Amino acid sequence: MAAFKWPITAISSILHRVTGVLLFLAVPFCLWTLERSLNSEAGFLQVKSMLSGDCAKFITWFILSSLTYHIIAGCKHLLMDVGIGESLESGVLASKLVIILGILAAVGLGVWIW
């Protein structure tokens, strides 16, 4: 396994898969938060104060970063479906771009949340 080198395209695609599963697992958390925040002013404030804790901030950051990565990689997928960037070189380039954009988005989200 150690001898098998992970090409960049495989990394970007497995990350898309992992973030997809993570997002599915995050749905109950999001629905619960939405329910609380809409039901009453007290619930809204409760959610707000809950989301200002360090642990909750980290979870929020993690979910949102997964979402932005999944969307960016998803867009690459959709572009390739319509025939843009299908060659090997452009595929490698696009994968690099997706990972770089994903990291930038995660950093930006971190700055916004903290």
Partner 1 sequence: MVKSVTSVGRSGLHDWMIQRVSAVILAAYSIYIGVFVLSTPDLHFSVWQGLFAQTEIKIFSFLAILSLCFHAWIGLWIISTDYLNILALRLVFQVVVIILCLAFLLWGAQILWGF
Interface residue list for partner 1 (CB under 8 A): 17, 20-21, 23-24, 27-28, 31, 34-35, 37-39, 41, 44-45, 67, 71, 74-75, 77-78, 81, 112
The three-point CA angle 97-111-47 to 5° equals: 115
Question: Does residue number 31 form part of the binding site for ligand HEM (CB under 6 A)?
Answer: no
Question: How far apart are alpha carbons 65 and 102 in whole angstroms?
Answer: 7
Question: Does residue number 70 form part of the binding site for ligand HEM (CB under 6 A)?
Answer: yes
List the single partner that 84 binds among partner 1, ligand HEM, none, CB under 5 to 8 Å by kind.
none
Q: Read out DSSP for 42-93?
A: HHHHHHHHHTTSHHHHHHHHHHHHHHHHHHHHHHHHHHHHTTSS-SHHHHHH
Considering the complex, state which of residue 89 and residue 109 has its C-beta at the smaller distance from partner 1: 109
| Residues at the interface with ligand HEM (CB under 6 A) | 16-17, 20-21, 23-24, 70-71, 74-75, 77-78
